[in-house]
Amino acid sequence: MKKIYIFMVRLPTFVNKCSFFFTRFKYSHISICLDSEFKKFYAFQIKNIKTPLVGGFMEENESYFFQAKNITSLNEIVFELPVTDEEYTKISNYITTVKEDKEYIFNYVSALFMFLIGGIRVYKSFHCCEFACEVLNNIDSIKLPKKTYKMHPKDLYKLLIKFEHYEKTINIKDFEFDNDNIFFKKIKLKSVIKKSYYTVTENVIRSILKRPIKNIFKRIVFSKSFLNHPMRSLFNLGVNFFYRYHIKHNIAPIII
């Protein structure tokens, strides 16, 4: 028998502020930890403190929670979940699979519109709660009340409260910050704008077409079906030009 840990904290990011505005729930960010030393967490969140619209899979630690200069302390709650050896292996393998797949991005569409339309499934895209719930799907004793992309922190809190390990306040003075770490490192404004624009358009395209932008162009624009579906072919052609423009101007890569 092994254990995994779920961390909940409230972050000062745009998405987390939106979550708090609609729910008034004190926690808004969720991370997964696979060991009791709490050295490394896994989550979907922003890639850099200066890029609020560029997010994806992240390996983080508690110092990452302090994303605003005026915040010196934060409340966090930790849940300790017992799992079998087989479940632990499945969870570890799943996290590794997501980590190594560079197509995964942050699900801004679902995170921002969850409280209006109940969440949206976006191809290879998670928000922090959605990713945590996908991990929990590997535990037989945990039964989610909703689909993973419809879950928000308040739902998960109610589900896991019986597994509470501790709740406490953490202080910024207890952590060391590495300014060379990619999460805290300063980046150019031009790069921020390019990467943010790409991430937003990628979210929209994936939510509509159920695939990433780059894969759309593997299809032949004018195929045998053109006569039967002329509007679809013309749309694909338009998206093709859209993608080529992004490549030409070096907008497409989102890795910082």
Q: Give per-10-residue mean pLDDT for the chain (256 aa).
A: 92 68 80 91 86 86 70 86 96 96 89 76 91 96 92 92 91 69 77 83 84 58 47 59 57 44
pLDDT the model gives residue 256 = 37
What residues contact 160, with CB distance under 8 A and at least 6 apart? Answer: 6, 79, 81
Q: Are 28 and 19 in contact (CB under 8 A)?
A: yes
Task: Examine residue 105 and state whether it is found in any structural domain, yes or no.
Answer: yes
Task: Examine residue 256 and state whether it is found in any structural domain, yes or no.
Answer: no
pLDDT the model gives residue 218 = 46
Domain harbouring 136, CATH code: 3.90.1720
> Is the pTM for the entire model greater than 0.85?
no
Which domain covers residue 158, as residue numbers? 2-174
- One domain for residues 235 and 201: yes
pLDDT the model gives residue 223 = 46
- One domain for residues 201 and 120: no
pLDDT the model gives residue 232 = 60
Structure token digits, residue 94: 């799943």
Task: Examine residue 239 and state whether it is found in any structural domain, yes or no.
Answer: yes
Q: Is 56 helix (H, G, I), strand (E, B) or coil?
A: strand
Burial class (CB in 10 A: 0-12, 13-18, 19+), 126: buried
pLDDT the model gives residue 233 = 56
- One domain for residues 242 and 136: no
Nearest to residue 53, comparing CAs of 129, 98, 107?
A: 107
Task: Examine residue 211 and state whether it is found in any structural domain, yes or no.
Answer: yes
Cα angle vertex 215, ends 211, 216, to 5°? 80
Nearest to residue 13, comparing CAs of 70, 42, 51, 43?
A: 51
How far is it, in rounded angstroms, from Cα 174 to Cα 62? 10
Nearest to residue 256, comparing CAs of 203, 189, 183, 200?
A: 183
Q: Which residues of 31-69 are buried (b: 16+ CB within 10 A; e: fewer)?
A: bbbbeeeeeebbbbbbbbbbbbbbbbbbebebbbbbbee
Q: Count the domains in the chain.
A: 2
Residue at which a domain ends, from 140, 174, 208: 174
Helices 85-100 and 128-136, axial angle in degrees (round to 10) = 140
- One domain for residues 205 and 160: no
Structure token digits, residue 84: 């079998």
How far is it, in rounded angstroms, from Cα 120 to Cα 219? 25
- One domain for residues 170 and 67: yes
